[in-house]
Chains A and B, each alone.
Chain A
Amino acid sequence: MPTRTTEPAPAADAAVALRAGGPDARARRTERAKNWARRAPLLPALVFLVLVTQLPFLATVVISFTRWNALAPDNRGFAALDNYRAVFTDPAMRASVGTTVLLTVTVVLVSLLLGLGLALLLDRGFRGRGIVRTLLITPFLIVPVASALLWKHALYNASYGLLNGSLTWIWRLFGSDDPPQPDWMTDSPLAAVEMSLIWQWTPFMMLILLAGLQSRASDAVEAARMDGASAFDIFRYLTLPHLRRYLELAALLGTVYVVQNFDAVFTITSGGLGTANLPYTIYQTVYQSHDYGRASAQGVVVVLCSLLVATFALRTVSSLLREEVTS
């Protein structure tokens, strides 16, 4: 974006300028014309963007103040703040806020750490690196609902899943006929959902961090090595500071996506056993209660909270970036 101010001069000034017809006014006019010439081609895109993103949100805000349940078509009307009251007094909604935070933080942190480890390993040259990298990225390319189904049936299932099958096989190797057969999704339902998401999001984190690592100048590292720095020191004082921006970016993007996750919760646990997160709770309000008014209110509240959190997150990130520049 151009940083020049393009504010129109106050009317009086403009009038004077016009009367004078001085070079100053002409310059300003051409300046303005130039600015518009630069902006005009972007206008359709901007209008389109506003239409497709802001109008639905406006509609949601409007609906959130109406009493609108699809099951009661005769009973529609203005509800004032009833829907919002219902949202804030709903215990399921409160519980799902906690679940969402826990789920998101766990998934983002763990996949960030795993992604960092994998990126550091992949940063070295070895035979077959291309194949390994492709294989590691694959989980991220799988359709989320398909991956959730895979985890639910092929891996976790207590009677025909791979995890318990492996346990049986290992125990049999040692001649035991009574392997433990834990019921993964029941014993730790949230961890089961988190696990499948971590598997999916680790490659994403790895990709961003790997890009960061490969953009690093190697001479500093070599110099450090010449000076006798240990591998850990290099990581601690050179790699990590360099990667910090990438770590923040990965965490931010990951959070934005994982907060919205629906497939894993829907498929693996159907929101049972305290795994219902915000998207799932809103889905239930729409599809089972058919209460569009309340669902819209829930959506609006979630968007507002997300905006708050995102603002703070972005502020931290940008302040850190500024530190980078000044330090």
Chain B
Amino acid sequence: MRARSPGPGRGGRSLGLTALAVALALSTAGCYRGAGDAGNDSRHTINVLMVNNPQMVDLQRLTAEHFTKETGIKVHFTVLPEDDLRDKMSQDFSSQAGQYDVASVSNYETPIYARNGWLSPLGERAAKDRTFDQGDILEPVRSSLTAADGKVYAEPFYGESSFLMYRKDLLKATGLTMPARPTWHQVAALAAELDGSRKGLKGICLRGQPGWGQLAAPLTTVVNTFGGTWFTKDWQQQVDSPAFTEATRFYVDLVRRHGQAGAPQAGYTECLNDMQQGKVAMWYDATAGAGSLESGESKVAGKVGYAPAPVERTREAGWLFTWAWGVQKASTHQDAAWRFVRWASSKGYERLVGRELGWSRVPGGKRASLYRNPEYAKEAGAFAGPTERAISSARPGDPGVQPRPAPGIQFVGIPEFADLGTKVSTEISAAIAGKQSVPEALTKSRRLAQEVSDAYTHH
């Protein structure tokens, strides 16, 4: 079987898969019209594949009584955990089976999928749509959903960056101040001071759990600002370069000396718990964490300050992540799919969530207008400003001190990165556990990164 160009009718296997997918789609969609949208796309049904985050579950609840009522378009949701979602999505989109009209894609997949020709460009539709107001979308978020051809391929549902969360009261008690734009070495010094200043208090929480979406994310932002990178512009791996090593050693030392207990298994959730329980004085992580810290159940609500992501050699260091909506190119309901995307990413939807479920549950981090909304400011006053600044100042195209071969701040925007980032972070996690040294971990990682280098330099 020779490799052939993607498209329908490619070899027995994919044909079988396609047939299966279509059969499934037929059985799930209930009503199916082979014809394209002939303008009257009401009475259509679309299939949406999305990740099982709380904001998406809220969306699912609100869809029937609002979106379907307004447009007559029925929406079937398939909700999956992140890993399963990516797997199902890549299967359906790569064969262009068209089982799902809309899927939640992040800024990691969007440029990759767009380059493979799996997504419909949405930029023109969005530009024509006055009420949608594409200009209101925060610039870094919009550009991270723009492919190499300059077209927008997905519309954001919510966005996040990273910043430093710290306990104002504990800093005051120890007579310390947080600089307006802290460097990593200042943060390490603060962590050393705060560590043990109260019984059972650790200086800082940093992720140590293996995973490209766990440890690899904050670590990569540290690598960027220390002047390191995973790959040079021409795909030479830099995992064991001096800058990468220095950054990794700094991160590992900091978390080993003044970090939370149980660091090698601590991810976002564990750090959030530690911070909420008052076990750590600082936490460098996703801006989304602030909402939980300020919520009613949190012991530290009102006591937390927010500083920009610590830097060393760059001006900014915060990451950028967004869950967005992409429309599959093979979908036969392009218009209905766009109407759903337009609704889910709109200002109106943000207001709807604010009214129906409370402003703290609004999928934020994507529109400038939300941060000018007084009701939202009342709810999220402490972290709204820092969050917007962090997202607005992220530079996914140029996150470090050298040009990059692929977009992405806390990841490298290539399909291989999920695997590479996970395996390398497993080695570094073992270094945090003290099972090996940082140079040992990076020497092992070098081989993995070299494989990716080879794949890209032989093209």
Contact = CB atoms under 8 A, between A and B. Distances in A.
B91 A70 contact: yes
Contacts of B1: 66, 76-78
Contact of A159 (B90, B116, B274): B274
Given A272-B430, A290-B90, A177 B199 contact: yes
A269 to B, nearest CB: 6
A160 interface: yes
Contact of B429 (A77, A273, A290): A273
A272 B270 contact: no
A78 B265 CA distance: 40
Contacts of B87: 70, 286-287, 290
Interface stretch (B32-40, B290-298, B375-383, B411-419): B411-419
A149 to B, nearest CB: 10
B262 A185 contact: yes
B287 interface: no
- Pick the most buried of A159, A160, A189: most chain B CB atoms within 10 A of its CB: A159
Task: From B83, B262, B430, B435, name the one whose CB has the most chain A CB atoms within 10 angstroms.
Answer: B262
B5 interface: yes
Contacts of B11: 76
B220 interface: no
A181 B263 CA distance: 13
Contacts of A189: 264, 433
Interface in A250-282: 268-274
Contacts of B142: none
Nearest to A269: B265
Nearest to B279: A159
Given A71-B415, A284-B419, A287-B83, A186 B210 contact: no
Contacts of A274: 430, 435
Given A153-B273, A157-B270, A273-B430, A185 B265 contact: yes
Nearest to B262: A158
Contacts of B83: 287
A75 interface: yes
Contact of A272 (B13, B274, B418, B429): B429
A156 B419 contact: no
Contact of B90 (A70, A75, A152, A186): A70
B265 A272 contact: yes
B127 to A, nearest CB: 30
A181 B261 contact: yes
A184 B210 CA distance: 17
A157 B262 contact: yes
A73 B116 contact: yes
A288 B422 contact: yes
Contacts of B433: 186, 189, 272-273
A185 to B, nearest CB: 5
A186 B208 CA distance: 11
A73 B6 contact: yes
Contact of A71 (B13, B90, B214, B264): B90
Nearest to A74: B3
A233 interface: no
A186 B279 CA distance: 18
B277 interface: yes
A113 to B, nearest CB: 28
Interface in A122-167: 152-153, 156-160, 164
User: Which of A76, A183, A184, A186 gathers most chain B CB within 10 Å?
Assistant: A186
Contacts of A92: 423
Interface in B249-279: 260-265, 267, 269-270, 273-274, 277, 279
B265 to A, nearest CB: 5
B6 A74 contact: yes
B211 interface: yes
B329 interface: no
A157 B274 CA distance: 10
A319 interface: no
B86 interface: yes
Most buried by A among B86, B211, B265: B265
Contacts of B262: 156-159, 183-186
A289 interface: yes
Contact of B277 (A75, A160, A177): A160
A153 B6 CA distance: 45
A239 to B, nearest CB: 42
Contacts of A284: 419, 422
A75 to B, nearest CB: 5
Nearest to B112: A71
Given A157-B270, A289-B419, A152 B6 contact: no
Given A272-B264, A273-B435, 9 more contacts: A71-B415, A73-B95, A76-B1, A185-B262, A185-B264, A186-B264, A189-B433, A272-B429, A289-B418
Interface of A: 66, 70-78, 92, 152-153, 156-160, 164, 177, 181, 183-186, 189, 268-274, 284, 286-290
16 contacts: A66-B13, A71-B90, A71-B415, A74-B5, A77-B3, A153-B269, A157-B261, A157-B262, A159-B202, A183-B261, A183-B262, A185-B262, A186-B262, A270-B211, A273-B430, A287-B84
Interface of B: 1-6, 11, 13, 83-84, 86-87, 90-91, 94-95, 116, 199-200, 202, 209-212, 214, 260-265, 267, 269-270, 273-274, 277, 279, 415-416, 418-419, 422-423, 426, 429-430, 433-435
